[in-house]
Chain A
Amino acid sequence: MNTMPQPHEFIDIGADVAGIREALARRRLVVIGGLALLLAALFTAAMVMGDYPVTLPEILTSLLSPFTGTTQKGIDFIVLGVRLPRALVAVAAGVAFGLSGVLFQDVLRNPLASPDIIGITIGSATAAVAAIIVLHWGGGWLASAALVGGLATAGLIYLLAWQQGVSPYRVVLVGIGIGAVMTAMMSYIFTRARLVEVQEAVTWLTGSLNGSQMKDAVQLGAEVIVLGLLLIPLSRAAGALELGDDTARALGSRVERARFLLLGVGVTLCALATAVTGPIAFVSLMAGPIARLLLGPSGGAIVPAALTGAAVTLCADLIAQHLFFSVQLPVGVVTGGIGALFLIAMLITANRTGRTS
């Protein structure tokens, strides 16, 4: 080109750009819509399936009974007292785990990063194990211990990794170090405790939705919604962070602050969910990559990852409850298996750099 392009040559390109952008946005909507539908289907299945089958009209009547006053003795208990809270907790916890995973992966720019691996879940777990075995706590106190454990561990990791700012690489390494210490502490407690206590702790550690209460569901749901709303303004900053610290700063993003806030939200979500259900393995690791696989080049994996987390958790719980006739598995066992299958599926479709799509 010897002269600058004339104005009329620009107009077409602008339209092309808009077209591309719209195509990406469309794909994202399709993915989100699809996941939402899947979630709805799973939710319905969770309400209908069980030792005592319930039909859809019966479910609806139950759900509306606080307003209509119509009660159906056994059915109300099953629907409102058992299945609904369980499904709601599964969704809330799944969203929380999925979000925390994708936030960690985005901020730390490593597909293997997740609260599980960085040591935060282990912090919750160790605190919980200590609470169960040493202090003999249960219920609400146990949940608080897990929450405090997770948050304290995260704070410790952040402080230790801080040196004129926090580099993703340092956070990962320090996290692994702290995680190892916590695991050692937990192993030590296991070797010194009575078998019965160890069993109790192992049960909690596997992550389970048994005995979910409505109040837990409402509480966790509200917490997740509030933190989720916080993510809306932060998602912009997450997009900038994707481009590396230098470019992000050049674009006007406050990199350290964004990292701190995004990780903070991720940690809090994970700790809150772990406190209610115990650590459900691999949901936070899986959700992000699965969402990215579905999205392809259209970015904005945060909402899809939340929905994926919920879908995986709900699906795993259904399988866990109904796979074997006599035994109900805890959901954590199944998510591990599903996690493996999904990771393998990802690997089959991965391109030459090992990245999916």
Chain B
Amino acid sequence: MTLLAFNPETARTPTHLSADKLHLGYRDRKIVHDLSVNIPPHRFTVIVGANACGKSTLLRGLARLLAPTEGTVLLDGKSIHQMPTGDVAQRMGLLPQTPVAPQSILVADLVGRGRYPHQGWFRRWTRDDDRIVGEALTLTGVGDLGGRALDELSGGQRQRVWIAMALAQETGLLLLDEPTTFLDIAHQVEVLDLLTDLTRHQGRTIVAVLHDLNLACRYADNLIAMKDGRIVAEGAPREIVTPDLVERVFGLTARIVTDPVSDTPMVVPLGRHHVAIAAE
């Protein structure tokens, strides 16, 4: 389907990410408790939960940005903290929640930084590098913004540039923390479609934290619902998303219907107003 240059080795090798009895926290606060999870390879996994439930912390722990207080994170069976960080970076890419941009860096330059793990001390830039950066820019729809400075762009454009950087890292495993913030609905769908392509046609493994429950239900192959630092439910959306789950995880009364377009669960919230049919 696509001839997007992608290292076939990393595509075929199952990049199996898992956590075993993971405890994560900062100095005085424990956030994630005794969490074990298997991220299925070649699938799109989405983590959802209310604010401050620990989903970003979990992602950071999986991405080895945060050292666990107990337990381990395993990449293909090996503890991620024992592996050289350069190796990990070639297999796992990350889009953090609030990325820091240096002074007025150009878009093409920033996306190019994604090639860092593949370039040794003295390796020069190759045409392949340029092509991959170009592809990443095109895929995220910012192909014509290459020469612009980052701080001139809108929030949505900037977000897509950061995603492009993560793509340019060319990893089999991609972790994204709230990649759809700041994006308008068309671009949200575009990005999520892109991520789906990456799993289906390139065999990559994607883990994303999403705040929009309905988009999560539509796009996730595997949904992880978290509350208070623990996993409440895990599985295909149509199997686990029930009104009871939504109530427990989000504190929201809702009805679950079937999305007429995608045939996946759709959460219809019941608020205090605009309830045409009486709640059961």
Contact = CB atoms under 8 A, between A and B. Distances in A.
Given A20-B106, A239-B113, A252-B85, A4 B90 contact: no
A248 B60 CA distance: 13
A265 to B, nearest CB: 16
Nearest to B87: A252
A217 B29 CA distance: 54
B138 A252 contact: no
Contact of A251 (B125, B137, B141, B169): B169
The 7 closest A-B pairs by CB, nearest first: A252-B89, A244-B100, A13-B134, A14-B134, A250-B94, A14-B131, A246-B96
Interface string A1-34: 1001101011111111110110010000000000
A21 B116 CA distance: 15
Interface residues of A, number: 43
Interface of B: 1-4, 60, 63-65, 85-90, 92-94, 96, 99-106, 108-114, 116-117, 119, 121, 125, 127, 130-135, 137-139, 141, 143, 146-147, 149, 151, 169, 190, 194, 197, 201
A201 interface: no
A14 B135 contact: yes
A244 B138 contact: no
A247 interface: yes
Nearest to A240: B116
A295 to B, nearest CB: 10
B146 A297 contact: no
Contact of A299 (B102, B111, B127, B149): B102
Contacts of B3: 7
Nearest to A249: B65
B21 to A, nearest CB: 22
Contact of A14 (B2, B60, B105, B130): B130
Contact of B89 (A1, A12, A16, A250): A250
Nearest to B92: A250
A351 B4 CA distance: 38
Nearest to B84: A252
Nearest to A7: B3
Contact of B116 (A4, A15, A252, A355): A252
Contact of A13 (B110, B143, B194): B143
A355 B149 CA distance: 13
11 contacts: A4-B194, A15-B130, A17-B146, A18-B130, A242-B105, A243-B102, A243-B113, A246-B60, A249-B63, A299-B109, A355-B104
